[in-house]
Structure formats: C-alpha cells, structure tokens
Amino acid sequence: MKKTITLLTFSVFTFCNAVAQQPINIKVKQASYSKLEKAQPISEETTSPKRKCGTPELNESFENWIQKEIQKQEQFANGKKAAVVYNIPIIFHIIHTGQTVGTGYNLSFTQITSQITILNADYRKLNTDQSTYLTQPALVAVAGDMEINFCAAKVSPTGVALAEPGVDRILASSKGWTSPPYTASSSYLENTVKAGSIWDPTKYFNVWVTEMSGGILGYAQFPTVPAGTVPITDIVGWGGSANTDGVVVDYKYLGNSSYAPYNKGRTLTHEAGHWLGLKHIWGDDGTSCSGTDNVSDTPNQAGENYTCPTVNGSVKTDGCTTASPGVLYQNYMDYSDDKCMVMFTAGQKARIQAVMASCIRRNTLNTSYVCSSVGVNETVSNLEISLFPNPSNGELNVTVDLLNSEDFTILVVNTLGQTIKEVSQLHSNGGTIKLDLSLNANGVYFVTVKTKTSSKTKRFILQ
C-alpha cells in the first residue's frame, strides 16, 4: 500500500459499520453497510477455501483524527513513557439451537477459552509460531507487542457471577429468534440478534459466535471517534451504534478448531484488529499500489495474500514490493491462512493505543472490573490491600490491613477465572505476604482478599 494519505470524497463515508471475512471469493457492494453478496459454494475443484473481507474505503476524516492522536501521544511520551497496557474484558455470546455443550453451535468451554489464550499470545507478541514464519530480519525488527490483554468476564451486567467465565450461552428460540445461519451484517443479525443480547459495550468486548451464511468467517464494528471531535464533526458517531458494537465470528473458526486452514483462532485476532482501528494491510486498493493502511512500517503491498508459502518463512514479493524482505503476508491484517499469520507491527500498535486512549466505548474498558467476581474498586471500610511491585517479575508482595483480627484468604486468579494460588491466614490483622509467581505465564492477574464479611480485588501485571 502507498504510504501517503489521499483525501476521499464524502461518498466513501460508507466505510461500513463492519468488515467481514469470508473464506471464498465474493463480490462487494459499496453500500452503507458493506453488504456482501452471497458467495457461491466451494467447488470440488477448489483445493483450499479463501479468506475474504468486504471493506469499502475508509473516510479520511477518521485518519486525520487518529494521526493527530498518535502525534500527541508521541509528543507527550517524548520517548520516555512506556505505552499503556490495556485490559479488555471479553464476553462470548454463544448462539445455539439446543445442542449439548461441546457439540455443533454450542462450543465447549475449553474451545471458547482457547480463543482468549490465542488473543493474549497474539496481542502480546508471545505466540510461539512467530519465529517459524517470520524470518526476515527487517520484518522481525518491526514486530510489536500491542500491550493489549484480554480477560474473561466473571460477572454479568447485573453482577451475577458467571458459571463459565467469559461465556453467555443463548438458546435462539428463548429470545424468539430464528435459527442460524444468519446473513453477515444483515438487519436481522445487527438489530435483532446483536442489539437483543449485547452487554454494556463500555465494560465488555462483545463477541457473538454463531453460523453465518455464504461462508463468512467473521466481521467487526470499527471504533467511534469521541463525541464533539472537531473539525470532523461530520463523522461523530462513525463506527456504528452502541447496541451493535463488537465482533461476530462463525462458530467453526473460534479458537482451536478442526476447520483448517482457519483453525488457529486468527479470525478473531484479525477482526479484533479492525475493532481496534486497524485496516487491511494492503489498503483495499485492488492491486494498484496506491492504497494505504496508514501505517508506516508495513510494506507497500499490491493486494491481499492467500494461503502460505510452501517453505515456512519464505520471502514473498509482488508488483509493489519487488525485493527482499518482501511483503508482510505474516501480518494478522492480511488474508493469509491462520498458520502463517503471526504478527502485528509497532506502527499498528500506535493506532491501537490511540483508539484505546480516546475512542468512545474503547477508552472505558481498561477501567472495567467485570473480570473480577467483585469490583476492583469496591469500597470496604474494614479491609485495605495493596500490591507491589506492580508490574511484577514474579515476586509479589500483598499487604493486607484489617480493622479487626479475623481469618482471611488471598486468591490469585488468571484471566480465565482459574485460581493459580491460594494462601490463608488465621486470626490476623493482616501484614505483608510474599507470593512467588515466577512459574506462571506473563499476563494480567487479579488478587482477591476475602474475609467472612468482606472482600477486595486488585489487578496486577506479571511480566
């Protein structure tokens, strides 16, 4: 993609409230909802399905805004301040028609939570397959840690603890809905299914998991600029309605599945990238080399890449980038098969960080505490706790201060809601307890201190 910004007419404001991936070739109508024509079934001669995403051009007013935001962040940081590590609570709405858990639409808890593990590995640059497919030093150098963590929501919007953290199972008939499959971006899916089941998008990243007709893998709603933003007030509210905000993924492609070549959970990694403000890496310009993803460290690319090279990590060139290190088919925002999608870039990180800092419904997620069974900011007058150091390299000191002498328990919980450490104290007013967490994976964790009458939770980073 070309790295200069070309101003577009207002007609391209129909960027769409969503972008959709599809595993076979389709035609795209340039409509206000980026509505996709139904794809033809895969023929017997087709050796492998193809990922496809219907995405009209992006309104450049959004680009003007986000580039200014990135510049402000860079000026404020002045090369000294580290990027913020953002934490995003996620809820999967599993839409089924009565299947037993673990069959068909009604995916197992293990498969659902495998997607969270994949997201955290991909967005924190912890995926172990990166070195297999990213071998060119110049491309390795631009790979970035997005400093985004995803955690499974532990409570519903009404405060009820979830039996399965991060999972909301919905029997379609119980809502009066027709049975899947649904048409991607259709009025029914948007205004009936999504709007009828969304959880507060200022506190949860909503992901709907269902079957979509036409072979669609998934689609996302883009972020919305802050209300009152000037001078681009013509697109305030751009990005779609609050009651449809999130991502839809076909159930076959969530987490570790058996549906190769999209069986490694990279569909949601890709769509979450759109939800966080990223464009396709080639700039959606066909093959003209004139489009842009507005990211300076991704190579100019003629068009989307499909499949993966026969030899892992091979250099791939095209008419826009004709020499090594080649195009970046390994990027999550391309159309390559899941196995060789292995990285984001530092430039893409700058966009994501700007969106998380400023875009409505994104900028409140980091202070949402639904990944804890109790509010992290819960006020309990007879119990105080503090954690240090935070972030921690493996040793964490938990200081507990109780008004009265009583029994208490310290629980350390990961983002999947699993308790990884538990320590109990009897008849105590508190003190400092040292925890050794050095054998646990890097990421976001929660410390909860519970007594018979109260509890308090705080979040910390293990790095």
Query: What is the dihedral sign for C-alpha 353, 356, 357, 360?
Result: positive
- Tell whether 356 and 403 lie within a shared domain: no
pLDDT for 373:
63
Stretch (H or E) spanning 47: none
End-to-end Cα separation, the chain, in angstroms: 35
> Does residue 418 share a domain with residue 305?
no
In a domain, 132, yes or no: yes
Q: How many residues does the chain have?
A: 463
Which tokens in the block code for residue 231? 């001078």
Domain presence at residue 374: no
345 and 439 share one domain: no
Q: Specify whether 166 is located in the same domain as 213.
A: yes
Buried b (16+ CB within 10 A) or exposed e, 330-349: bbbbbbbbbbbbbbbbbbbb
State the pLDDT at residue 4.
39
Answer yes or no: are the C-beta atoms of 327 and 306 closer than 8 Å: no
Same domain, 453 and 392: yes
Bridge partners, 411 (sequence order): 422, 448
**Domain total in the chain:** 2
275 in a domain, yes or no? yes
Last residue of one domain, picked from the residues 341, 367, 393: 367
> Amino acid identity of 97?
T
The whole-number pLDDT of residue 82 equals 56
Name 215's Cβ contacts closer than 8 Å, sequence gap at least 6: 22, 23, 24, 39, 41, 42, 49
Q: What is the pTM of this model?
A: 0.77
- Cα 46–52–58 angle (5° rounding)? 160
Q: Report the largest interatomic distance among the alpha carbons of the chain, rounded to a whole angstrom.
A: 74
Q: Evaluate the omega torsion of the peptide bond into residue 391 and state whether it is cis, within 30 degrees of 0.
A: yes
State whether 295 and 415 are in the same domain: no
Q: Which own/partner pairs from 423-428 qualify as long-range (CB within 8 Å, at least 24 positions apart)?
A: 425/400, 428/400, 428/402
Q: Clarify whether residues 43 and 92 are in a common domain.
A: yes
> How is residue 269 written in tokens?
């990694």
- The DSSP result for 436-452, as a single string, is E-TTSPSEEEEEEEE-S
400 with 345, same domain: the answer is no
In a domain, 3, yes or no: no
Single out the residue in 302, 337, 367 at which a domain terminates: 367
Report pLDDT for 269. 98
Q: Which of 422, 420, 423 is nearest to 439 (CA)?
A: 420
158 Cβ partners below 8 Å, 6+ apart?
A: none
pLDDT in tens, the chain (463 residues): 544 333 222 232 233 345 566 654 332 222 222 222 222 332 223 334 567 654 445 567 778 888 888 888 776 655 545 567 899 999 999 999 999 999 999 999 999 999 999 999 999 999 999 999 999 999 999 999 999 999 999 999 988 889 999 999 999 999 999 999 999 989 999 999 999 999 999 999 999 999 999 888 999 999 988 777 765 555 566 678 899 999 999 999 999 999 999 999 999 999 999 999 999 999 877 777 888 899 999 999 988 999 999 999 999 999 899 999 999 999 999 999 999 999 999 999 999 999 999 999 999 998 888 997 644 444 446 788 999 998 899 999 999 998 888 899 999 988 777 788 999 988 888 899 999 999 988 888 889 888 887 778 888 888 8
Q: Which residues are catalytic?
A: 271
| 375 within domain boundaries | no
Give the C-alpha separation, 273 to 342, whole Å: 13
Ramachandran assignment for 370, one of left (phi > 0), alpha (psi -120 to 50 degrees), beta (any other): alpha
Is residue 182 assigned to a domain?
Answer: yes
The confidence score (pLDDT) of residue 23 equals 55
CATH number of the domain at 278, please.
Answer: 3.40.390.10
Q: Do 252 and 292 fall within a single domain?
A: yes
- Could you tell me if 60 and 171 lie in one domain? yes
Domain hosting 414: range is 383-462
Residue 5 lies in a domain: no
DSSP state of 360: B
Write out 107-131 in H/E/C secondary structure: CCHHHHHHHHHHHHHHHCCCCCCHH
> Looking at residue 440, which CATH number applies to its domain?
2.60.40.3080
**78 is a domain residue:** yes
Q: Which of residues 312, 339, 367 is at a domain's end?
A: 367
Concatenated DSSP letters for 68-87?
A: HHHHHHHHHHTTTSPPP-EE
> Do 424 and 357 have their domain in common?
no
Do residue 357 and residue 425 come from a single domain?
no
Phi/psi class of residue 310: alpha, beta or left (left: φ > 0; alpha: ψ in -120 to 50)? Answer: alpha
Closest by Cα among 119, 71, 23 to 332: 119
